[in-house]
Amino acid sequence: MQHNAQLTADNAAQPDAIFDGVDLRRLAERIPTPFHAYSANAIRARIAGLQQALQGMDAMLCYAVKANSNLAILQLMAEARVGADIVSSGELWRALHAGIPAQHIVFSGVGKTAAEIAEALAAGIQRFNLESADELDLLQQMAAELQVRAHAAVRINPDVDAQTHAKISTGKAQNKFGVSIDEARRWFADAARRPNVRLDGLHVHIGSQILGIEPFRLAFARVAAFWRELEAAGHTIASIDVGGGLGVRYRDGEQPIAPADYAAAIRAALGDFTGRLLLEPGRYLVAEAGVLLTRVIRLKHGEGRRFLVLDAAMNDLLRPSLYDAWHDIVPLIDDVRPRHRYDVVGPVCETGDTFAVERELPELHAGELVLIRGTGAYGASMASTYNSRPLAAEVLLDRGRHAIVRRRQSLEDMVAGEQPARHWETA
């Protein structure tokens, strides 16, 4: 039995078919495709690697729940003493249910509602990452009503280009996230007007799937300079949250930032900061720990094109449709076959339901298994039931064992809450 947590080709007979000690082909005989499978040990290894790189600093990982919000994944985080970065009361609920202590939870996002702020205050979360003056005022008002003092950080928009896909870039001045340093300066200057908000933190998050260290360096340097300025003006900064954004390897040739280099960039900018550092990695911890198992439904020969129609679709994995994202597509076959260029598509009635265009793959036949790599982050968490396709099952793998951590949605589950319009009322 193989115990490798990474997908490697070290099992000569079945390259790629063994994941965290589990034979994916046998698993797919027991669990109908499509389903997501996650390696617990790959996730543990990522957490440990990052924690190790940060040793010596007072640093805490707050996992960005949006990347993969399955309760079993959140439990792995809780076991490793990783906190949570949440953006909704749904994520708050999940994090608390998975056993992540409220004191390890930070709350980000531009659209926190009054109800969500009330829930987070009642739960006693660690801090709010605030993104607008309106939100700051609302937090003051609500904390005053509850007679508590909320900890808050201001999310700085450092106007740095993360050099990633435009739809996941967040640190440019024109993006909706954070406030300018000028505005943040004013928040601190009149902090006394908001006695129920302890504004003692800075936060920055410039985007996602970042592969170059330079944007991080720039953003951290701007935040560090602002922190020094604030300290000099007599303000106390208890925590600096450097956000998430660490990229992963989706395809050969991509060179992700090593944890040691990332930690070195944090040290270089903030090494003499004596408060608490917070990090909000999402993708880095889970992306490469997940695969999507799917079968070929049929081959279709179009005008000069070969379509490979899979039983997974954009509702199971939206990234290729939404961002033209590359995911490796690996047939689980062990004989050598001629290769062809395929457009790899799902059954959903949209041209955008395409996983890859002109991808060179060995000849495949109906019923054969294919895995799509790198789907542990922003895969299941972005899934929908579009075309009335039930949400796929999710399976956790751990040293040769597997456990279903989300059963495939039944049709009854899918329509739960829907009803014929019987009871008409007027508002």
What number of chain residues touch ligand LLP (CB under 6 A)?
20
E-assigned strands of 237-364? 239-241, 276-279, 290-301, 306-310, 329-331, 339-345, 354-362
108 binds ligand LLP (CB under 6 A): yes
Site for ligand LLP in 74-93 (CB under 6 A): 85
- Could you tell me the CA-to-CA distances from 259 to 48, 216, 256 in Å, in that order? 10, 13, 9
135 binds ligand LLP (CB under 6 A): no
- The tokens describing 80, both together, are 């490793």
Catalytic one of 349, 412, 417, 418: 349
69 binds ligand LLP (CB under 6 A): no
Single out the residue of 198, 193, 178, 60 nearest to residue 127, CA to CA.
198
What residue has token string 């987070």? 120
For residue 306, list its beta bridge partners.
301, 342
**Catalytic site residue 349?**
yes
281 binds ligand LLP (CB under 6 A): yes
Contacts of 55 by beta carbon, 8 Å cutoff, 6+ apart: none
Single out the residue of 327, 384, 381 nearest to residue 354, CA to CA.
327
Q: How many CB atoms lie within 10 A of CB 269?
A: 22
CB of 205 to ligand LLP, least distance (A): 4
319 binds ligand LLP (CB under 6 A): yes
SS3 content of the chain, % helix, strand, coil (to 5): 35, 25, 45
Nearer to ligand LLP, 242 or 397 (CB): 242
Among 208, 294, 315, 354, binds ligand LLP (CB under 6 A): 208
- Annotate each residue in 162-201 with x if it binds ligand LLP (CB under 6 A) or - if it does not, as one string: ------x---------------------------------
- The tokens describing 84, both together, are 């949570």
Site for ligand LLP in 357-396 (CB under 6 A): 378
Query: What is the distance between the alpha carbons of residues 71 and 69, in angstroms, rounded to a whole number?
Result: 6
245 binds ligand LLP (CB under 6 A): yes
205 binds ligand LLP (CB under 6 A): yes
Write down how long the chain is: 427
Q: Is 388 helix (H, G, I), strand (E, B) or coil?
A: helix
CB of 184 to ligand LLP, least distance (A): 16
Q: Which listed range, 21-29, 88-96, 243-251, 395-403, lies at the site for ligand LLP (CB under 6 A)?
A: 243-251
- Annotate each residue in 35-64 with x if it binds ligand LLP (CB under 6 A) or - if it does not, as one string: -----------------------------x
CB of 265 to ligand LLP, least distance (A): 15
204 binds ligand LLP (CB under 6 A): no
320 binds ligand LLP (CB under 6 A): no
- The tokens describing 202, both together, are 């800075």
243 binds ligand LLP (CB under 6 A): yes
CB of 283 to ligand LLP, least distance (A): 3
What residue has token string 């049929």? 298
Do 280 and 243 touch, CB atoms closer than 8 A?
yes
Query: Is the CA virtual torsion 310, 312, 315, 321 positive or negative?
Result: negative
Q: How many CB atoms lie within 10 A of CB 214?
A: 13
280 binds ligand LLP (CB under 6 A): yes
Phi, psi of 227 (to 5 degrees): -60, -45
Nearer to ligand LLP, 89 or 196 (CB): 89
Among 171, 256, 259, 282, binds ligand LLP (CB under 6 A): 282
Task: Report the catalytic residues.
Answer: 349
Task: Tell me which residues touch ligand LLP (CB under 6 A).
Answer: 64, 67, 85, 108, 168, 205, 208-209, 243-246, 280-284, 319, 323, 378
